[in-house]
Structure 1
Amino acid sequence: MPKIPLLQFNTKGLYCKQANVYIDAWKPVDRCIVTHGHADHSRWGHKQYITHHNNVPIIRHRLGDIEVSGKQWDETFNINGVTFSLHPAGHIVASSQVRVEYKGEVWVFTGDFKTENDGIAEPFELVKCHTFITECTFGLPAFKWIPQAEVFHDINNWWATNQTENKTSVLFGYSLGKAQRLLKHLDTNIGKIYTHGAIENMTNVLRENYNFPETIRITRETKKEELLGNIVLAPPSAHGGTWIRKMVPYVTASASGWMTFRGARRRRAIDRGFVLSDHADWDGLLHTIKETGCEKVIATHGYTEIFARYLREEMGLDARTEKTQYEGEQGELETKKDEEKE
């Protein structure tokens, strides 16, 4: 009789049968370990949630009144003989990898992750394992990130240039994760930072555990004259809507890994693109997989087939893919609650 894998995907998500626990399930289940607060990984409807304690206020903000327990980094908890622990994924604030051990066998599920320390999210922790379940949102050799210090130097220069032309700088980034990373590294000596309501709401949730510069929420009473020369942080969903009209004259930019491709900026009708991702690039993915010492790899979302084939043919690993409902940067879209204007 074949051995049942410690973790396996089914129609509801990633399941540990021995513990009767799911990880980042996309359909309602009794008990679910949640890696982070993005909508494709933290779904509504589970009876019980387990997550890092800094992620508790995030998912409560997004999901409402839920039963949730918070864990510390590296804290072990045992469910029916299976040992679980959460480790920093470096993806966004309070994002976790989940280590699962049973009878000496160790699996790691990354959720989403990045290896560069961005100065706000808890830095990625390498976890040794036998089987590594990984995203590969940017699993192509074309994706190689430059150090974020250089990217933020360019962003702040862009803002300063727009200021000399008396224009408002509108910078798009997802309300959870990307927006706070941008906020943390904007040069407040240039001017003031204004925020869309979705970003202001989420940032206020996070201020208890993380330090951010002062921001000003944009409301119906905000005059466009107040915005001239300053910078506005807004979610991508705000682009092209009536909300942005009060910014005129403005210049737009997007911070995303997809800005690697010029066509992505053109399709999104963005004036400037900055390549800044909260996911691992090609080198980060390969280095991490090698350093875990894993023998098996399961690629869940991104360029899965290409990536798994490379791992098999070039690195000699037992690599395969799984179809999931995780979506990488596309899954970081704003929820209805996040899209509140004020």
Structure 2
Amino acid sequence: MDLVVARPEGLYCPPGDFYIDPWRPVARAIITHAHSDHARVGHGHYLAHVASAGVLRGRLGEITLQTVEYGEVITQQGVRISLHPAGHVLGSAQVRIEWQGEVWVASGDYKVEVDPTCTPFEAVRCHTFITESTFGLPIYRWPTPARLMAEVQQWWAENAAAGRPSVVGAYAFGKAQRLLAGLDASTGPLVVHGAVEAVNQSYRAAGVALPETRLASDCSATELKRALVVAPPSALGSPWMKRFPNASDAFASGWMLVRGARRRRGVDRGFVMSDHADWPGLQSAIKATGAQRVIVTHGSVPVMVRWLTEQGLQAEGFRTEYEGEGGSEADTAAAPEAPTEGEAA
């Protein structure tokens, strides 16, 4: 028996009678992380890593939530379940399932780069590995974190010297905190949209060190001219931007590696930054599991399946409703679960 199968509600474990990141309401759901394409309302019981609790409750409201630490084992109908670091965002986890000597791991979203704002990815040995492939093409190879932050810092410094605010569009949960944690605040104030600040509070409550951040309403016009502003991408084209006259804007995403993506976004700069594994990262992560069977979920599924088959592995794809780093910006929009700046002030 396969330990995980695809159902209309989501990825289902038949012997344990639970789902992993289901997209339709179910009785029991294991949530790999709190991005909205993986954590949805309506489930009877939620299981997630303890560090996810703040963001999950902030986004989903009152839910029946059970939390566990990484590596802690619980049993559901004879199935041993444990969560292991995915390195994607705060509290993100891979789900290890063991039943009758068979071990499967569902990765959720993950990255292999070390990130100071979340626990690093941990390879988990298994027989079958269910992997994402958001950036599962050979062209996707990320710059080092040091190089990325140096590029952002230089852009900010040049704008500040010219008296221009620097506004970066970045997902409110994950990318925004990585940016803030990696920057030298001596250049000017770090200003955030209310949706970003709401998530910052959950990070700080979980013990993650972030620099001081302020709302635009708490800054003078002079201070804003030297500020680096982090906001959801959906805010870049909204009336909220009127408080930053003559701003230079940017977008942080893995898609910025593709020619023309920045032009379509209509921003001054594009920074290649993703919370997902790039092509070498996917390859190394899959190899480290030792799995002989690999099931690919969202992203470049046919390409990844073909490459895995060429490596001598048994490979196939699952149809899912996960968006990866897609274009809907569901995780960056303020409504309904994330407050506007006024609500967070």
Superposition TM-score tier, normalisation by shorter sequence: over 0.9
Unpaired runs of 5+ in structure 1?
Answer: none
SS at match of 1:149: helix
Mapped to 2, the partners of 1:333 and 1:102 lie a distance apart of: 38
Q: TM-score, normalised by structure 2?
A: 0.95
State the partner residue of 1:232. 229
Counterpart pick for 2:148 among 148, 151, 156 = 151
Partner secondary structure for residue 203 of structure 1? helix
1:222 CA displacement = 5.2
Q: CA deviation at 1:282?
A: 0.3
Q: Does residue 1:317 correspond to 2:313, yes or no?
A: yes
Matches within 5 A, 1:22-61: 22-61=19-58
Match of 1:130 in 2: 127
Cα displacement string for residues 196-245 of structure 1 (whole angstroms, at most 9, x for unaligned residues): 010011111221111111000123x7554331011111010101111101
Question: Normalising by structure 1, what TM-score?
Answer: 0.96
1:254-305 alpha-carbon deviations (Å, 9 max, x no partner): 1110010131111011100111110000001011111211011111000111
Counterparts of residues 119-268 of structure 1 (less than 5 Å): 119-209=116-206, 210-219=208-217, 223-268=220-265
1:307 correspondence with 2:307: no
RMSD after superposition? 1.2
Deviations 1:298-338 (CA, angstroms, capped at 9, x unpaired):
1100011111111112x111111111010101264435122
Report if aligned partners of 1:35, 1:96 keep a CA contact under 8 Å in 2: yes
Structure 2: 5+ residue runs without aligned partners? none
Separation of aligned partners in 1, 2:221 and 2:284: 47
**Structure 2: how far apart are the matches of 1:332 and 1:133?**
23
1:58-115 deviation per Cα after TM superposition (whole angstroms, max 9, x unaligned): 1000000111011001000011110000000000111000000001100000100000
Aligned length: 337
Q: Give the deviation of 1:23 after TM superposition.
A: 0.7
Identical pairs, percent: 45
Q: Residue 334 of structure 1 aligns with which residue?
A: 333
CA distance in 1, matches of 2:203, 2:111: 20
| Aligned CA distance change for structure 1 residues 133 and 335 (closer, same or farther; 3 Å) | farther
Counterpart-to-counterpart distance in 1, 2:339 and 2:267: 20
CA distance in structure 1 between the partners assigned to 2:255 and 2:54 by the alignment: 29
Instruction: Provide the C-alpha distance between the structure 1 equivalents of 2:287 and 2:238, rounded to a whole number of angstroms.
Output: 45
Q: 1:64 corresponds to which letter in structure 2?
A: G
**SS of the residue 1:301 aligns to:** strand
Mapped contact 2:189–2:223 kept (Cα < 8 A) = no
Offset of 1:121 from its aligned partner? 1.1
Task: Give the secondary structure class of the aligned counterpart of 1:189.
Answer: helix
Q: Deviations over 1:150-194 (max 9, x none)?
A: 100111011001011100000111010110111101111111101
